[in-house]
Structure 1
Amino acid sequence: MFSNDRRRFLQQSLACGAVAASGLLLPSSVAALAEKPGAKMKLGLCTYLWGKDWDLPTLLANCEKTQIYGLELRTGHRHNVEPTLSKQQRAAVKKMFENSPVVFVGPGSAECFDHPDPERLKAAIEKTKAFVKLSHDCGGSGVKVRPNDFHPGVPREKTIAQIARSLDEVGKFAADYGQQIRLEIHGSCGAMEPIKQIIDQVRQKNVGLCWNCNGDELLGKGLAYHFDRLKSRFADTVHVRELDDPKYPYAELIKLFVGMNYSGWILLECRTTPADYIAALNHQRELFEQMVAKAQS
């Protein structure tokens, strides 16, 4: 059941739309109701560390309590949303999200496509397809995967081409289920030049990049340059750490996403161990809201 705050938001939104449609507002007033850039961008949680020990009912309750309305569920954690779930269990997971204001963004898999061993590569592709089915059955919209590393004795261009081919294969499969493949910028293949070479070879348009705040993008010509080179292939998810981490220019990053009118999920993939996770989530949400408001002003 949706919270009262969410209900009021929906009611107010509908009321504004009705007033605008009635012709009671001047054109300039109607224009003022238009959304600011980045207004559809949302804050969610990736359960890499924060939330990893919570079962699904606890996760949903804590996210609703802190107004974190999206979840990317990392594989292997206590919430246990895995490809091994039965049809009935998947339906139960989907129902839990439907009865909550929290959105199932999708599974966060650890599958990658760099393996020199053909059997390991084939297994990763098939496991990714299993995650695609899981996401579809549970109401998600896509699956997170990785590139991941270059290997001694294997030409870099061969690894890049192999990853791109694999992404096209799983992307084509995912398209039949209405799902995205979200390539997390990760590993040595996630440096700015190779990740651009990989995504440039991927033809499936439902395959996109998950920006990951690694730090490599701050080198050379800097954040804005690398962001602009890749933004046309961004997926619906972004991974950030704590937004008050002084080692990364998060205010600048949020401004760039607002500037492109990004409408996806900014997912907290935090690494600290706070004494109070609820307070920490509330603090991160407040920081996010402040950064977005400043970028929009």
Structure 2
Amino acid sequence: MSDIILAETVRIGGAGTVYIVGAGPGDPELITVKAMRRIQAADVILYDRLVNPSLLDYARSDAERIYCGKAPGAHSMPQEEINRTLADYALRGKTVVRLKGGDPFVFGRGSEEALELASQGIPYEIVPGITAAIGASASAGIPVTHRGYAASFACVTGSRCHGDAKPVRWDLLAHSVDTLAVYMGVSQLDDIRGKLLLAGKAPSTPVALIEQGTTSSQRVLTATLDDIHLLAAAMGIINPALIIIGEVVRVREQLLHAQRRASAMRMIG
């Protein structure tokens, strides 16, 4: 059976297909084979700011490339216009790829685009990608679960700390989940740590900041919940960056220590 989803409404004759594709966390080699093939077949590619530009090299020379990235406070194309553009090209019979950083259904608004396509009877397919909580943390040597440290983890957005009708319940997350992977939270780091501390999270809880995860520009900083904001400011951490909060951060130091010890033993031997 085809994995292309057809909207329950009547499919419009001659419409093309839209592929909502996850590009992974940054390293272009972490894209899936299916995603690469969809890029190669595309007539039109709408791509985001966090997509590694080298992935566009897979596209045909005649494929139309449309940048629609969003940075904090600066959207090159509003979401409503992106939705319309996807539908317009598909209704012209084009094969369209909507290329997103990470996974399209993890803070990627891919579901909003799929709902719009479904409402117009336009067929689409979701191609999952490696999300930053998994890819960037693994690249930094931090597991989101680890026996004895963490049996659960949550992916949380940090961008709803101010002015949202339904703010993140940091008071509940502080004790109900072992590992927190916070997206889009660097600018709100001091506020996030304050809310977690107020909810009773231990100040000694390990925290890691992973900037440009999985790429050659990756930086990893570790501290505690008590002082991570000071280190982030001193080191000038900027987006895209992932915040990992929990005891699993200690595994990174254990891995580094084991590597240093093994290297020293090889030199002695």
TM over 0.5: no
Name the one with the larger strand percent: 2
TM range (shorter): under 0.3
Give TM-score scaled by structure 2 length.
Answer: 0.27
Name the one with the larger helix percent: 1
